[in-house]
Chains A and B, each alone.
Chain A
């Protein structure tokens, strides 16, 4: 699989439920980041987790990182209709000029 593969590809939940998205990657990383993209718009940075961190929180977001399994998860708690968007993980590898490698993304739909 490609660097930064997310699953599921699509997720549909009701408002108030939690949404969990997973990401796998292949190479060594400096950090892993999650971005959000509303339809037809640019990407918005959500959260960054460094390679030496295992868990990080920001508001309703919780990110975990398991470097031994080369995987990460993004949990959005108490989802809202406004959370409807595509979510991408992006890996920042060492000595790569800062380039981010994005996965295919998870399309999240939160129904009111």
Chain B
């Protein structure tokens, strides 16, 4: 069964450093998403991406965040200068025409 894969599973970084979280969505999906989940809290939407541009973004997704689909398979989330409060699980998801989203296993980001 096709699945969304995310790498790395765990990323440790120093405050102020840049991180890139990587995702390979399901191959025939056209819609891509990033969410995050701070420990013990609910899943929060960050950004949706379609046709090589951002469709919607939340207030969390400020200038420190960017997304890119650099080739036909990868979808990345970059945080330019990480803060302590960026520590969370980051989930990538993709969907087809009917918005059933398939989630990856997540990347745990720890900012020290």
Contact = CB atoms under 8 A, between A and B. Distances in A.
A98 B99 contact: yes
B87 interface: no
B45 A42 contact: no
Contacts of B106: 41-42
B48 A97 contact: yes
Tell me the interface secondary structure of chain B in the complex: strand
Interface string B78-94: 00000000000101010
Contacts of A26: none
Tell me the interface secondary structure of chain A in the complex: strand
Interface stretch (A13-21, A61-69, A77-85, A99-107): A99-107
A35 B37 CA distance: 14
Given A30-B99, A43-B43, A99 B105 contact: no
Interface residues of B, number: 28
Contacts of B31: 98
Contacts of B43: 43, 88, 90, 102
Contacts of A43: 43, 91, 93, 101, 103
A80 to B, nearest CB: 21
A45 interface: yes
B56 interface: yes
A97 B55 contact: yes
A71 interface: no
A45 B102 contact: yes
Given A42-B105, A97-B55, A98-B31, A104 B42 contact: yes
Contacts of A33: 100-101
A41 B105 contact: yes
B75 interface: no
Given A42-B4, A100-B99, 10 more contacts: A42-B91, A43-B91, A45-B101, A96-B56, A97-B55, A98-B48, A98-B56, A98-B95, A100-B35, A102-B42
